[in-house]
Structure 1
Amino acid sequence: MKLVIVESPKKSESFSRYLGEGYSILATQGHLRDLATSGKGGLGVDIENNFKPNYKLMPKKEKIWDEIRSQAKKADEVLLATDPDREGEAIAWHLADMLRLDVNSTKRLEFHEITRDSIKEAIKDPRIIDMNLVNSQETRRILDRIIGFKLSSLMQKKLRSPSAGRVQTATLKIITDHEKEIMNFVPKEYWEIVVTIEICKEQYHLKLAKVNGKTPEIKDEKAAQDLFNKLGENLTLNEIIKKVRNIPSKPPFKTSTLQQEASNRFHFSTSKTASIAQSLYEGITVGEEHVGLVTYIRTDSTRLSDSYIQRAHSYISENFGSNYIGVVKKEKATLLGQDAHEAIRPTGNHRTPSLVSKYLSYDQIRLYRLIYNRALASLMSDAKEEVSTAFLKNGELEFRLESKKNLFDGHRRLYEEDENDVICTPLMQEGTVFKILKKEKVQKFTTPPARYSEAKVVQLMEEAGIGRPSTYASTIRLLLTRKYIEATKDGLKATEQGIKTATVVAKYFPEFADVCYTAKMESDLDQIQYGKTKHLEMLNSFYAPFEQKVKEAYQIMYKEPEEVTGELCPKCGSPLVNKKSKHGQFVACSNYPTCKYIKKPEKVEPQYTGENCPECGKPLVIRKYGRNKTFVACSGYPTCKFVKNEEHHHHEEHDHELGKCPKCGGNLKIRTYRKSKFIGCSNYPKCDYSTKLKK
């Protein structure tokens, strides 16, 4: 028996179906070990002993590890089939280390899609663990632990901010700088001259484009009125210029562009897109087949494999015609692109969105259709359209009307992008005079820049070289959790605490707020992965200057005073202050830790209804449950459990009876509570008998 170890239970299900008898499949469910929080500074790293890490089994992973260890002892061979990325390589190495397997001979399966052929090929052609990739991940983890623990501790003590870090702080700085730009924006007045004319029984609204061949700047009403007075009653068609333009298809998705497009089209958060894409990658049961529908989802490449290109070209020719086959786009090389994986694409063109839609959820099919169509359309021919620009004049005033006519749909036949509606070119002749039906001068004001969406932040992170495809969504999620930013209907808004944190870090640790520094650090870490730099060289060069800066910051950084309540501590007489914890706000002594007094929250007076309980005579009160829900019950609870108006509990009673209650003799009925059905007594709340409803 051979033991194959994967990362997720979903993958283990797929592997079991593909490999059959002779193989046992287990899942680690992510990392098994992480740096301990013991040792000097709680870093889990022995700085003085060449940054030797101290790994510890993660909480709640004991049962998983016991099962893996037990099965490994019985197995003839252990095959490591974790994800084909940096974290997956690290998990594979940790497994080899914990199971005492030889890293130079233990088989490491690499696959980029979860299909029968891909897994069989990985079994046939295994490799060994890439220690350069492992060292790169370990160096990242050690750096993040050192920066995170030391910088976060400083921020907590001086600023009461929960954390700071290598990637999150640089990303936060991007958002807070933009927020300051919005806050400091001063609207400026400007005016537009707009006319309405009729062409081919269609009304068009045209804005003034040129005055004596120059673009006008109409800053006030007087300037607008002067131009308005020059406008006559007609416009004359002076010239029509027609151009044919080709619109090439966009490349297939990589992680960042998929998150951006899903946000723009479906308003998905980056985390939601990542979660749905992961489910499509790990495998879906389609008919009698369990298969991964898309390739690996954490990639910074738009490259497609030769085999997929050949299959796609055949599919395009058969379904659309040979004139729809386009050229294969060459990916532009970037300094930070790793090109370790293909673009995100469907694993099979025969699994069309319409074919698999009945096996997927609503959101899954939307994302799969997006991935499928984008990958296929990237290999289709250019769309062609004729763009006509009409120049209409009245004296020195010039207005323009642009229209488009589709000549060849090309890739748009499959992947229609969000562009302006294509309208037919109006049938007009030069010299034609059009009567102005309406003319007006409109006052307007410039508006502040729009807040960044999650998709825009991902784009900026990628452009700046901050983080990697696997960290985009988690970084934004962390900033939201820390309450440094908040999601509003207008986009991501930096909070006061977020702006304060980014400003202070930029002042005392400018390198961590500098996207160029963070990008260089990412690039240096990549050099370890390529075997061009030793990981100890990077750690040594980073640690000493950073440690010195932290020590200096503790001495010179201003500590933000806590908010005083105006009361004195009953134990030591020190002022009481408002404090925050992960559980919320509370009042405590400012002399902590010498004095550990915490003020108990004042009891909220019950809200009486003015009625008495029909069972015990005590007053009825309004109670709360959930976030904003209330019900009326007896104030004598738990002695008296009377509840008035059971609809407050959202109980739904069905008509048909199911016999007698064994507790009180009442009628048993099917009831619904919070979308779950059960059998309950009709005399509730006097009788609380209930039992499960058998399916």
Structure 2
Amino acid sequence: MSKNLVIVESPAKAKTIEGYLGKDYKVASSYGHVRDLQKGNNAIDIENGFQPTYEISKDKKDVIRDLKKLAKGAETIYLASDDDREGEAISWHLQEALKLDKSKTKRIVFHEITKNAISKAINNPRTLNVDLVNAQQARRVLDRLVGFELSPILWKKIKTGLSAGRVQSVAVRLVVDREREIDGHTAVSSFKITAEFSLEKGKVLNAELPSKFKTKEEAESFIKDCVGASYDIRNLEKKPGKKSPAPPFITSTLQQEASRKLGFSVARTMSVAQKLYEAGKISYMRTDSLNLSDEAITAAKNEISSSYGDNFVKTRKYKTKNASAQEAHEAIRPTNFSHRTAGNDDSEVRLYELIWKRAIASQMAEAEIEKTVASIGISTRKENLVATGEVVKFEGFLKVYTESTDDENGESESKGMLPPIEIGQALALGEMKAREGFSRHAARYTEASLVKKLEEMGIGRPSTYAPTISTIQKREYVVKEARDGHERKYAEIILENDQVTTHSMTEITGAEKNKLFPTNIAMIVNDFLVDYFPNVIDYSFTANVEKEFDEIAHGQKTWNTMIESFYGGFHKTVETTEQVERSEIGKVRELGDDPATGKPIIARMGKFGAMVQMGETSEDEEAEKPKYASLRKGQFLDNITLEDALELFKLPRDVGEYEDKVISIAIGRFGPYIKHDDKFISIGKDEDPMTLSLDRAIELIKAKQEADAPVAFYEELPVQKGVGRFGPFIKWNNMFINVNKRYDFDHLTEGDIVELIKEKIQKEIDKVIHNWEDEGIVVEKARWGRSVIKKGRVKIELTKTVVAADLSLDEVQAIIEKNAPAKKKKTTTKKATKTKKK
């Protein structure tokens, strides 16, 4: 037994650290949090200062048992979870759950996994910081109170299964507000004047008018005035300038730049960064500090000097603007600047390279730029055209790295060098053009720009951005997708060879890629929360809550006092809102009447999402039932028109027959489809269900029939082939059988198919430990050495310590009775329950 026990969060980290510390140290992992708030309504004692009740997570009981054994034999226990509030809370929960002797328990922190950093941490231990623990505890308790009291209100008043959260609901509101801002935008046209001048040796000088014309008539007048005009260089001005590098990455800027440059989602960025950190390649990746240690700055300086020269070095110390940032932390950087590449796969290599370049560039000299501006006079007009060029005189940090931006206009600012010109030089006009352009609406959020907005508003912290953005997508409040653009006409007025011509042109505009779109349910939930819980979803309130967490972390405020100041008004609103009629909530818009039948048409939320309804619901069974149609992607209850709704009612439509069966086209929960012979065939994104022809429908039906056709028969049952999420498979007797690489999937023989089916049948037989058919109970082998009990829809996974083969029927029934889910009860807090009893 080792004299010293070090407990870290992840097994990957444990392996790396144990290699640095040697034989006197045993490094074990807690696999993250080991305790959490008790499930159900009794987790928080509201009447007694919001005291939480914690329990060891089911999947961590074995971990706690093993750690207790190791701790019992150790002279000193080092709690080495991450150096942030979450990490401090993990260490505190470990101390409580393991019942550690405080006299032999020490807390250590490090910001990188290197031998030097680990040794330094071991030699400089500290005690647990209770203020940091309380800040995390306050966040957890507040979020539980909000979630547990708000979500049931949403279930009752809007739709079962919805959820609300303090930060996630604000993130959804940002996306909803942006969508409505876009919907309310009216594009305003203007005309931009550009000109090309022909120079000697085939060179071209491009220029433009600095201001735009508001109307076509003004632009046309300008162009006509330039017929027969002469042009010359009136002024030539050179302006020296400098560009400075961006600071090293913090969590939010890494997420943004990885999205722009590498196309990574926020969640993927954090997952890959975690692996690099655990492997000892980068410093801690959850940080809001721009600080770099003196050791890191020196290492960067040496690398720059040896690779590029001393004139490329410029030492900088960045000051974090965020007052609550922990300056003891560092920005994200490589642990060894001499390693230009690191990582075990392509994602890790690319992200590491990005971090290396950004950190190195932050310690490099400014780039020196020379900007040249030429003013071009027009003999017939008072305005001057302007040509601009840029030349890099000294690369500086640009040698390594250029920061990307969220370019909302799609226009690049980079300009090349101007061709040789001089003041007084006459210019020959090649072409002048007035092109109609349109004002753009605000850009929809990407994951990266949403992170940026949340950070600017002071909402959330480095550790919350990725889970928040993942959650709102999993809950289907927000979808991330690409959408096609639409055609738009614009005008061009061209002057060439002293002739003016006007052209009507078309362009594709409004195409979106990897943007965040709100769903209809997001808009309804958002409006409900804004109306009834304005504090919870208010931007400034949510930011102020973060500041209060900071005050708790610095020992300036008591955590349960902060919760109490929020909860009283919040709970009162919950009780009031319970009295609101469901019919008063949600969008029910009267769109008008159907011209053909005179029946009213409304838009509303239905069981399966947003829809339009033609006709009224009646309790009279003899009455004609209403017709319903689901909204299509990109349509919102907010703005759907009567004309849009009438188009939707054109579906389902019969397009003809095939094999003596009617073919109909409709739209369902999962998009447009063809129905034929009681079979459903999905229609691709590039097909329009409103115009899909009979011939094309038959093509799709034949393709589906061919795909579903049996490739063989086994025991008189058909065998089909397919490719799914996990690769190629065959389907037989409702069993999906994976086809691994040792088989040629495109040329499976009858022998291959029989072998695959027999192996699958044997695997299913081998899985069964007990089978009590009369009781409908099966006990099977599961993953990771565990077993699982199945009865109907009940599925109970046993711990590794339970030997399933030794269980009797009575013992299994007792386990089912104890663990089977109880019937859903009304969710209330303790305080709410007591009020009702009174």
CA distance in 2, matches of 1:634, 1:644: 6
1:365 aligned onto 2:349? yes
Shift of 1:324: 1.4
Aligned to 1:162: 162
Shift of 1:119: 1.0
Higher relative contact order (CA 8 A, sep 6+): 1
Q: Give CA deviations for 1:107-158 in whole Å, capped at 9, x if unaligned.
A: 1111110111111111111111111111111111000000111111112211
Shift in CA distance, 563/346, structure 1 to aligned 2, threshold 3 Å:
closer
Q: SS where residue 329 of structure 1 aligns?
A: coil
The one of 530, 535, 542 equivalent to 2:554 is: 530
The one of 257, 261, 264 equivalent to 1:261 is: 257
Shift in CA distance, 250/104, structure 1 to aligned 2, threshold 3 Å:
farther
Shift in CA distance, 430/473, structure 1 to aligned 2, threshold 3 Å:
same
Shift of 1:629: 10
CA distance in 1, matches of 2:134, 2:627: 46
Shift in CA distance, 563/606, structure 1 to aligned 2, threshold 3 Å:
closer
Superposition CA RMSD, Å: 3.6
CA distance in 2, matches of 1:104, 1:165: 39
Aligned to 2:305: 317
Shift of 1:379: 0.9
Q: Give CA deviations for 1:301-340 in whole Å, capped at 9, x if unaligned.
A: 1110011112222222222222111141331433343334
Shift of 1:374: 0.9
Counterparts in 2 of 1:296-307, with a 5 A limit?
296-307=284-295
CA distance in 1, matches of 2:706, 2:266: 31
> Quick check: 225-234 or 388-397, which moved more?
225-234
Letter of the 2:424 counterpart: G
Aligned to 1:398: 384
User: How many pairs were matched up?
Assistant: 613
Preserved CA contact (<8 Å) 2:276 2:282:
yes
Shift of 1:77: 2.7
Letter of the 2:115 counterpart: R
Preserved CA contact (<8 Å) 2:64 2:98:
no
Shift in CA distance, 639/49, structure 1 to aligned 2, threshold 3 Å:
farther
1:480 aligned onto 2:473? yes
Preserved CA contact (<8 Å) 2:231 2:376:
yes
Q: Give CA deviations for 1:654-680 in whole Å, capped at 9, x if unaligned.
A: xxxxxxxxxxxxxxxxxx965532699
Preserved CA contact (<8 Å) 2:291 2:320:
no
Aligned to 1:612: none
1:381 aligned onto 2:368? no
Aligned to 1:175: 175
Preserved CA contact (<8 Å) 2:721 2:728:
no
Preserved CA contact (<8 Å) 2:203 2:419:
no
Q: Give CA deviations for 1:442-496 in whole Å, capped at 9, x if unaligned.
A: 2222232221111111111111000000001111111111111111222111111
1:220 aligned onto 2:215? yes
Aligned to 1:587: none
CA distance in 2, matches of 1:434, 1:674: 71
Counterparts in 2 of 1:226-245, with a 5 A limit?
226-231=221-226, 232-245=228-241
Aligned to 1:539: 563
Q: SS where residue 59 of structure 2 aligns?
A: coil
Letter of the 2:347 counterpart: D
CA distance in 1, matches of 2:430, 2:319: 51
Aligned to 1:212: none
> Quick check: 267-276 or 414-423, which moved more?
414-423
Counterparts in 2 of 1:627-642, with a 5 A limit?
630-633=707-710, 640-642=716-718
Q: SS where residue 156 of structure 2 aligns?
A: helix
Shift in CA distance, 686/68, structure 1 to aligned 2, threshold 3 Å:
closer
CA distance in 2, matches of 1:221, 1:437: 22
TM-score between the two structures when normalised by the length of structure 2: 0.68
Preserved CA contact (<8 Å) 1:224 1:441:
yes
Shift in CA distance, 155/329, structure 1 to aligned 2, threshold 3 Å:
same
Preserved CA contact (<8 Å) 1:678 1:691:
no
Preserved CA contact (<8 Å) 2:290 2:320:
no
Shift in CA distance, 170/15, structure 1 to aligned 2, threshold 3 Å:
same
Shift of 1:562: 7.1
Q: SS where residue 677 of structure 1 aligns?
A: coil
Letter of the 1:119 counterpart: I
> Quick check: 554-563 or 408-417, which moved more?
554-563
Q: SS where residue 91 of structure 2 aligns?
A: helix
Q: SS where residue 240 of structure 1 aligns?
A: strand
1:137 aligned onto 2:204? no
Counterparts in 2 of 1:79-90, with a 5 A limit?
79-90=78-89
Preserved CA contact (<8 Å) 1:642 1:685:
no
Aligned to 2:534: 510
Preserved CA contact (<8 Å) 1:254 1:299:
yes
Letter of the 2:751 counterpart: Y
CA distance in 1, matches of 2:47, 2:421: 82
CA distance in 2, matches of 1:204, 1:156: 64
CA distance in 1, matches of 2:755, 2:627: 46
1:439 aligned onto 2:463? no
TM-score between the two structures when normalised by the length of structure 1: 0.81
Counterparts in 2 of 1:415-430, with a 5 A limit?
415-418=401-404, 420-421=413-414, 423-430=416-423
> Quick check: 155-164 or 239-248, which moved more?
155-164
The one of 278, 281, 293 equivalent to 2:274 is: 278
Letter of the 1:398 counterpart: N
Preserved CA contact (<8 Å) 1:103 1:129:
no
Preserved CA contact (<8 Å) 1:246 1:384:
yes
Shift of 1:606: 6.1
Letter of the 2:708 counterpart: F
Q: SS where residue 751 of structure 2 aligns?
A: coil
Shift of 1:43: 5.1
Q: Give CA deviations for 1:407-449 in whole Å, capped at 9, x if unaligned.
A: 1111111213457545233211101111111122222222322
Preserved CA contact (<8 Å) 1:43 1:146:
no
Shift of 1:89: 0.7
Q: SS where residue 717 of structure 2 aligns?
A: coil
Q: SS where residue 555 of structure 1 aligns?
A: coil
Preserved CA contact (<8 Å) 2:197 2:429:
yes
Letter of the 1:415 counterpart: Y
Counterparts in 2 of 1:461-476, with a 5 A limit?
461-476=454-469
Letter of the 1:337 counterpart: A
Preserved CA contact (<8 Å) 1:679 1:691:
no
Q: Give CA deviations for 1:24-83 in whole Å, capped at 9, x if unaligned.
A: 222111111110123xxx151111122111111223222222221222223333221111
Shift in CA distance, 576/282, structure 1 to aligned 2, threshold 3 Å:
farther
Aligned to 1:25: 27
Shift in CA distance, 62/606, structure 1 to aligned 2, threshold 3 Å:
farther
CA distance in 2, matches of 1:171, 1:114: 33
The one of 321, 326, 332 equivalent to 2:314 is: 326
Shift of 1:647: 9.8
1:688 aligned onto 2:676? no
Preserved CA contact (<8 Å) 2:205 2:419:
no
Shift in CA distance, 339/148, structure 1 to aligned 2, threshold 3 Å:
farther
CA distance in 1, matches of 2:136, 2:103: 19
CA distance in 1, matches of 2:362, 2:744: 56
1:14 aligned onto 2:16? yes
Preserved CA contact (<8 Å) 1:373 1:415:
yes
Q: SS where residue 147 of structure 2 aligns?
A: helix
CA distance in 2, matches of 1:102, 1:88: 20
Letter of the 1:223 counterpart: E
Shift of 1:505: 0.9
Shift in CA distance, 34/88, structure 1 to aligned 2, threshold 3 Å:
same
Counterparts in 2 of 1:529-568, with a 5 A limit?
529-556=553-580, 558-560=584-586, 563=606
Shift of 1:556: 3.3
Shift in CA distance, 31/638, structure 1 to aligned 2, threshold 3 Å:
farther
> Quick check: 234-243 or 676-685, which moved more?
676-685
Letter of the 1:518 counterpart: T
Structure 1, unmatched stretches of 5+, are 210-214, 284-291, 570-574, 579-602, 609-623, 653-671
CA distance in 1, matches of 2:434, 2:569: 62
